[in-house]
Amino acid sequence: MKCKFLYISFFFAFCLVQSSCDKIDLWNLEKLPEFNDPQIKTNSLTSFSIEAILKTDGFDKITLSGFCWSDVNQDPTIMDNRTDVELDGNKMNIQLDWSGNSKLFVRAFAKNNIGYAYSKTIVVNWLGNSSNLPVIQTLQPTEVGFFEMNITGQILSDGGLPILEKGFCYSSVNQLPTLNDSHFMSQSSNFSELLDSIQENTTYFIRSYAKNLQGISFGNVIQVSTKNFYYVGETGPANGLIFYSKTDDSGGWHFLEAAPQDIGLNYNWGVITQTNVTATAIGTGSQNTITITNILGPGNYAALQSSNFSISGFSDWYLPSRDELVKIRENLMLNPNANLLLNEAYWSSSEDTNFSNNAWYVQMISGNGGIATAFKSTVFNVRPIRQF
């Protein structure tokens, strides 16, 4: 009977100690937080959302929580991409935008006094495919110059995704240009840009491109040749020499070409009749000649003979203005192919403002001299020019 009492007493003592130990573990031993498995709540072509539920805080206050993700690390940590999210009770949610990745590894994290704890990693796959690529078109340029052109693209379909980038690629060598060739982004809303700093008289292969989350699409290739820019001293279309060039199209022309030789006979300016063709600037010779011939009519004078001149299939010649003639002297006088007569005087189409009986001439000499007026009845050399 005594032994049985001792056994029962020992048993109750053991239970008391065990109960005490359980009580200490429950109330005093902190541990890391724990999560249920995260769940994908939504997933679209542009974004997705995930919900995480905290199973336990580890018997300690949560000081930091959120989500971390990576497209490379299959067990992302806070050292990868991270967004802090406060718990709403024991839940937290995040929405992330797709940004060119086909899949992301995501997991929740929480921190208490013990340290960081992570949920199970969840893999989120992007839902897009090749059908979501943009569809674009390259349009023919409307304006092509010597060193630039306006180029335009058109997005026929964005593939159901926002366009992240659009632009043009071009090459004078590669007939199927890519982003490995010369290219630039378009910032305009109408997908139209000025392509400049290119070479004159060169054929370019151009196509548009557009990029979204699915990838990059290219438009059709167009082939465009820039205009031929004639430099001073070059042979012009009529086999004369270029003596003046400009890139702008003011007046409707870019180049002035001097005939390859003087008109066969020397001519006077015309009868002593005031025509009021006093314009002397570059670009005014053509209208001067028209006015003079309309007023003076038939005859054997410089302006009419210049307008009647024809060579190499071109008949749009005229008598140069004073300043046009000065440019001939400056740029062609010492060029042996110009066939100008040194020290000789040439008529211009500019009448003297102060003396209606006089008109301007330019002598082919060096320096600033040799620019004066003379009686219209004087016989001088005549060199027709044309503009184009």
Taking the C-alpha atoms of residue 85 and residue 88, their distance in angstroms, rounded to an integer, is 9
- How much of the chain, in percent, has pLDDT values that exceed 90? 86
The token pair that represents 194 in the structure block:
């000025």
**What does the pLDDT read at residue 222?**
98
212 neighbors 158 (Cβ within 8 angstroms): yes
> Is the pTM above the cut of 0.85?
no
**What does the pLDDT read at residue 27?**
52
Taking the C-alpha atoms of residue 388 and residue 384, their distance in angstroms, rounded to an integer, is 14
**What does the pLDDT read at residue 275?**
85
- Residue 152's CB is within 10 A of a number of other CB atoms, namely 18
208 neighbors 153 (Cβ within 8 angstroms): yes
List, in sequence order, every beta strand (DSSP E) within 140-202.
148-157, 165-171, 182-185, 192-196
Element (H, E) at 66: strand 64-70
Element (H, E) at 6: helix 2-28
Residue type at 58? G
Q: Specify the DSSP class assigned to residue 358.
A: E
**What does the pLDDT read at residue 364?**
97
Q: What are the residues facing 151 on neighbouring strands?
A: 193
Mean pLDDT of the chain: 92
CA distances from 58 to 33, 78, 85 (A): 5, 20, 18
Q: pLDDT tens digits, residue range 287-298?
A: 999 999 999 999
CA distances from 48 to 41, 98, 124, 195, 230 (A): 7, 8, 8, 39, 60
Buried b (16+ CB within 10 A) or exposed e, 137-147: ebbebeebbbe
Residue type at 11? F
* Radius of gyration, alpha carbons of the chain: 44
- Counting as low any pLDDT under 70, the low residues of the chain are 1-28
List, in sequence order, every beta strand (DSSP E) within 102-142.
103-111, 116-118, 122-125, 135-139
Q: Specify the DSSP class assigned to residue 172.
A: S
Residues whose CB falls within 8 Å of the CB of residue 118, separated by 6 or more in sequence, listed in order: 35, 68, 75, 77, 107, 108, 109
299 neighbors 308 (Cβ within 8 angstroms): no
Q: What spatial distance separates the first Cα and last Cα of the chain, rounded to whole Å?
A: 134
Taking the C-alpha atoms of residue 388 and residue 386, their distance in angstroms, rounded to an integer, is 7
Query: Of 130, 128, 82, 86, whose CA–CA distance to 105 is shortest?
Result: 82
Q: pLDDT tens digits, residue range 118-136?
A: 999 999 999 999 999 999 9
